[in-house]
């Protein structure tokens, strides 16, 4: 057979293989889209979009000038899933930090339910012009994963926010993207894909945050195992956002790094590789803590 007649046959075979691969890819995407729709129906919005209002001065009886704590990010930072303000992430962090520093903590929450990393700039812009935080905690990333935001884009927005906060003199701590593989309401294989994507984003967030001088807490490593082992206790009614216990565990992982960031604002926090045990109750009366 002449060479000229063999080449078109090869091209036809390659084109056929490409067509099959394309069809499989489209089928996989359609399947994942259906599973995402199932997950949305399962989760729903039983909690609405309004978490408890927790902004106030916590533990004012300790005396002294309050430490200003700012929360940025998504629904976890906002506290959706908690029933009372003391159960929100902000309330837990403020109380825990006040106990560690033996000083009141003034909480301001700029986090918004449903926010992506791109929304951090708007959250910062929403603050009063004369507002200056002593320390800021950022928890974001889950919505970037579910909305398929490219990792470099998401982490770029995070780095910009950390940089802006550091320029104002604030210490910054980033809680990286939680493990979406713990969401049992999400069917397989979408849950596994979400787990891998959230792990990839969390690793990139940690690198970018540290490069900008922020402390980092790996929520996947520090509290993720608790959500997998005890989903009924750790998740709220919607099986997506943390419960009061979930927020307590998350705050316990964050507080030591936030405390250290305030005392040594130029030193990066370390991500824990093991679940963090509950903070020991102790009194710090008589000790002095300086906010950076």
Question: Would you name the residues annotated as active-site residues?
Answer: 75, 238, 241
Tokens of 132: 């200056």
Residue 140 to residue 112: CA distance in whole angstroms: 10
How many C-beta atoms surround the C-beta of residue 98 within 10 A? 24
Tokens of 90: 């902000």
- Phi and psi for 253 in degrees, rounded to 5? -75, -30
The β-bridge relationship of strands 67-73 and 105-109 is parallel
Please list the residues that pair with 106 across neighbouring strands.
57, 68
Tokens of 228: 């997998």
Question: CA Rg, the chain, in Å?
Answer: 22
Tokens of 155: 């982490």
Burial of 277 from C-beta contacts in 10 A (0-12 / 13-18 / 19+): exposed
Q: Judge if the upstream peptide bond of residue 93 is cis by omega within 30 degrees of 0.
A: no
């Amino acid at each position: 057979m002449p060479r000229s007649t063999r080449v078109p046959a090869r091209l036809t075979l390659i084109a056929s293989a490409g067509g099959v691969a394309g069809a499989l890819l489209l089928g996989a995407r359609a399947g994942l889209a259906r599973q995402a729709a199932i997950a949305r129906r399962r989760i729903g919005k039983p909690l609405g979009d309004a978490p408890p209002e927790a902004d106030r001065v916590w533990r004012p009886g300790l005396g002294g000038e309050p430490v200003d704590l700012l929360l940025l990010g998504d629904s976890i930072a906002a506290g959706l899933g908690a029933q009372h303000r003391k159960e929100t992430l902000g309330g837990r962090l403020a109380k825990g930090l006040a106990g560690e520093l033996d000083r009141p903590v003034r909480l301001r929450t700029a986090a918004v339910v449903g926010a992506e990393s791109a929304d951090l700039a708007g959250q910062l812009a929403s603050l009063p012009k004369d507002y200056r935080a002593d320390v800021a905690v950022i928890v974001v990333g889950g919505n970037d994963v579910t909305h398929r935001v490219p990792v470099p884009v998401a982490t770029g927005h995070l780095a910009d926010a950390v940089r802006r906060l550091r320029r104002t003199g604030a210490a910054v701590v980033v809680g990286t993207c939680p493990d979406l593989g713990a969401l049992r309401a999400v069917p397989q294989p979408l849950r596994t894909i979400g787990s891998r994507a959230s792990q990839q984003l969390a690793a990139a967030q940690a690198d970018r945050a540290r490069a900008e001088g922020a402390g980092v807490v790996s929520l996947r490593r520090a509290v993720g195992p608790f959500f997998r082992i005890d989903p009924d206790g750790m998740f709220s009614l919607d099986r997506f956002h943390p419960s009061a216990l979930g927020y307590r565990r998350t705050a316990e992982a964050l507080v030591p790094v936030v405390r250290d960031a305030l005392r040594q604002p130029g030193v990066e926090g370390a991500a824990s590789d093991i679940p963090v045990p509950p903070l020991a109750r102790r009194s710090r009366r008589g000790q002095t803590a300086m906010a950076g």
